[in-house]
Structure 1
Amino acid sequence: MKITSVETHRIFVPAANPPFAWRTGLGGSAPAGYGSVLRIGTDEGAEGVALFARPGAAVMLEDIVDRVFREELIGQDPLQREWLWHRIWELDRIQELPLPVLGLVDIALWDLAGRMNDRPVWQELGGFRTQIPAYASTATFATTEEFLDVADQCLELGYPAIKLHAWGDARKDAALCLALREHVGDDIPLMYDGSAGFDLPDAVYLGRALSDAGYLWYEEPMREFSISAYAQLARSVDVPLLVAETSDGAHMNSADFIRAGAATFGVRAGTTLRGGITGAMRTAHLADAFRLRAEVHGSDIPNHHLCMAISNTTYYESLVTSSTVVRERHVDAAGLVHAPTGPGIALPADLDYGPELQRFVEVAV
């Protein structure tokens, strides 16, 4: 079997309704625009797809496919995913591909394999579980009172744990984290994501508040360029650190965080920023060798499959972006996400793909 076609299909991605915010300095939800679906076909009729839903991604992906991917992939065996994963990393040396693009080919090839075998990808990966709890991962709201109200709604809807994305002010964020702990009591797992908003002194200040409040993990308080800074943070606070979400290099970079003693809770895994399915699984196995967690980042369908395949992950991340909370469609009333049942990976059902892609859309999860 050989790859005979590598195509992109533009899709319209609407703006979030209502729009939402992240911390100061990061802006908020993206405006409407055109994303893209990468579609890989073969001489035996097998096909696979991967979604790049970021508004404005269409032009970027079309350029990369035309200049780089099509020539590299045509004529290759789509089942040699390891070889092709290495080839994408080789090409990245000169091309400096955006992190989300590094894994797109790999995701499409895993989707192709699952469809060939009529099995969901989490089973192709070996399978570990058929359900997992979801935590509510908030956007940034205006006031402490609004955060506390959102937390109440999340717990009432069945979410068993909550992660905050706050304002990016160490003192205000620390006060919010302490207020949320007092509000929900000691039994609810809480996490905090700094979205790389701090330097080391402020990260230490906030981390000590999180330690006092018994937070489960402290995520990305600083940009992930200085592993030395993260190692110093780990020595300075008791709250466990979850690291290596946005740093380049997939499992290779994660290994350096672990070796430095900076990953005291674990490392991030995920298809979007860790090199697709293959890179995420390598990261998870690396972390497992050190008895650390590999927490899956992001609430899209490829990461839904990862959560069912990775043994050392704790939760599915479910975004909560409105002050009127609605459970994500994959999360049930008990706060659980169940394993997908359809073949391959599938595209989410809430976008208009056009007739040529309809057979790739999720029908059962």
Structure 2
Amino acid sequence: MGPTITAVETVTFEYPADHVTPNPLGTGLQYQPGARTDLTTHAIRIETDAGVTGEYVGGTAPGMAQVRSSAGTLLGRDALERERIWDVLKRTLRKFDGTGIGPIDIALWDLAGKHHGAPVHELLGTYRTRLPAYVSTHAGSEDGGLDTPTAYADFAADVRDRGFPAYKLHTWRGFEEVDIEREIETVRAVAERVGDEMDLMHDPVCEYETYGDALAVGRELDRGGYYWYEDPYRDGSKSQHAHRRLADRLDTPLLLTEQTRWLEPHADAIANDATDFVRADPDLDGGITGAMKIAHVAEGFGLDVEYHLASPASRHCMAATRNTNYYELGLVAPECPTPHSEPPVYDSYTDTLDAAEDGRYPVPDGDGLGVTYDWEYIRDTATASTRVEK
């Protein structure tokens, strides 16, 4: 019998992000030098009768609502029975997207590492301890920053010179119309500047209006030798049939499933040839447990899994996965070297561009996730909090 869960605390808090602002339609952020935007994120603490606590900062608003609605079911459970808890939460949240499982599961892995005196990647089974990264850009704006094809190519050259082996474009999003010619010019400009020296990826984030637009840009990616083409158009990457047809007409491999929730739809996308690379996200896909399940399904089909965005949880997952290629260092931009998703609550951990050595990041080697959070900052900037206890 392991430690018994006695309390679950959640906090929603705000933090400032420099050089980003909401895009015109409010569908996401864009890079805007000189701007400052207040962002919201979440924190969870799981306490036990043994005094060991699991902690995690991250998640989404819908996911945290699910955490709060499910927290009572954790009380009295063995905190080391992660697989059983994962199964109970999956059944509990079956009518929802299940994103509430992620923060709970990650906090339980942190707790387990502290209980056993080991980092999470060691509990999973370490494969590597240095992670090659691709620089993943913020979306561009119309006024300054990443506002031209040349600006994207210049930033690519800059991060190449810093030693990064790969670069992914997020171009313009959140506008009423998409300028497909500018998209084509941008992926061409980047390929001409650094394509012989870096792996290149392109992610329109489901912005292209039509299959035809996605096909036109994809053909330019073929000419530029891009490594993958991610979430091209506005079906929200939901149609396996459409993406299988798109893949049949392109040489550039597709990467889908970032917009896919639950394990089984990931497996279906793989089995139906809808994607070439598989995306998994510890935050959104059932925590470290769920993300590793997706990684192993992909491995069974001979495919690679790529973990979404930079975080301690993603580092540990990648460290314990053979069939993966790059750590996503993002989202960043020329004057925005720290990912927008990194609040100022860590002691020494950071995903800033300058923290890389030859384009690679180390895996935390402390117990659990190997990070320490500033709970005073979290509580001082809180906009909502809950606590349930036994």
TM-score computed with the length of structure 1 as normaliser = 0.87
Does structure 1 residue 180 correspond to structure 2 residue 196? Answer: no
Report the alpha carbon displacement of residue 192 of structure 1 after superposing the two structures with TM. 0.5
Change (3 A) 1:77 1:70: same
Q: Which residues in structure 2 correspond to 1:115-154 (within 5 Å)?
A: 115-140=114-139, 141-154=146-159
Q: Structure 2: any 5+ residue segments left out of the alignment?
A: 31-35, 140-145, 339-350, 381-390
Check conservation: 2:59, 2:283, Cα contact below 8 A: no
Q: Which string of whole-angstrom CA distances, capped at 9 and with x for unpartnered residues, describes residues 39-66 of structure 1? A: 1111111210121366xx4x973x5444
- 1:69 matched to which residue of 2? 70
Determine whether 1:301 maps to 2:312: yes
Kept in 1: contact 2:165–2:197 (CA 8 A):
no
Q: Distance in 2 between matches of 1:247 and 1:276?
A: 14
| Alignment match, 1:363 | none
C-alpha displacement of 1:239:
0.4
Query: Are residue 256 (structure 1) and residue 268 (structure 2) matched?
Result: yes
CA distance change for structure 1 residues 35 and 313 in 2, over 3 Å: closer, same or farther? Answer: same
Query: How far is 1:224 from its partner?
Result: 2.0
Match of 2:41 in 1: 35
Does the 8 A contact of 2:18 with 2:336 survive in 1?
Answer: no
Rounded to whole Å, the distance in 1 between the matches of 2:366 and 2:24 is 37
Looking at structure 2, the residues matched to 156 and 184 of structure 1 have their Cα atoms a distance apart, in angstroms, of 10
Question: CA separation of 1:165/1:22 partners in 2, compared to 1, >3 Å: closer, same or farther?
Answer: farther
Aligned pair in 2 of structure 1 residues 159, 33: CA closer, same or farther (>3 Å)?
closer
Instruction: State the superposition RMSD in angstroms.
Output: 2.5
Cα distance change of structure 1 residues 235 and 97 upon mapping to structure 2, 3 Å threshold: closer
The residue aligned with 2:255 is 242
Instruction: Measure the CA separation in 2 of the matches of 1:21 and 1:206.
Output: 25
The structure, 1 or 2, with the larger RCO (C-alpha pairs under 8 Å, 6+ apart) is 2
1:232 matched to 2:233? The reply is no
Structure with the larger helix share = 1
Give the drift of 1:120. Answer: 1.0
Deviates more, 1:330-339 or 1:151-160: 330-339
| Counterpart Cα distance in 1 of 2:63 and 2:232 | 29
Of 341, 358, 364 in structure 1, the residue corresponding to residue 365 of structure 2 is 341
Residues 220 and 301 of structure 1: CA distance in aligned 2, closer, same or farther (over 3 Å): same
Distance 1:34 1:290, change over 3 A: closer
Which amino acid in 2 is paired with 1:232? R
- Checking the alignment, whether the CA contact within 8 Å between 1:284 and 1:310 is kept in structure 2 is yes
Q: Measure how far apart 1:314 and its partner are.
A: 0.4
Cα deviation, residue 175, structure 1: 1.6
Closer, same or farther in 2 for the Cα pair 1:171/1:297, shift >3 Å?
same
Aligned positions, number? 345
8 Å CA contact retained: 1:137, 1:162:
yes
**Offset of residue 33 of structure 1:** 4.8
Matched, 1:164 2:169: yes
The 5-angstrom pairing of residues 1-365 of structure 1 reads 1-14=3-16, 16-19=17-20, 26-28=27-29, 31-52=37-58, 57=61, 61=64, 64-66=66-68, 68-94=69-95, 96-97=96-97, 99=99, 101-140=100-139, 141-167=146-172, 169=178, 170-198=180-208, 199-222=210-233, 223-249=236-262, 251-264=263-276, 266-324=277-335, 326=337, 328-329=351-352, 331-347=355-371, 352-353=377-378
Q: Is the deviation greater in 278-287 or in 16-25?
A: 16-25
- Name which of structure 1's ranges 323-332 and 127-136 shifts more when overlaid on structure 2: 323-332
Alpha-carbon distance in structure 1 between the residues aligned to 2:94 and 2:297: 23
State how far apart, in whole Å, the 1-side matches of 2:196 and 2:14 are: 44
CA distance in 2, matches of 1:98, 1:142: 36
With structure 2 as the length reference, what TM-score do the two structures score?
A: 0.82
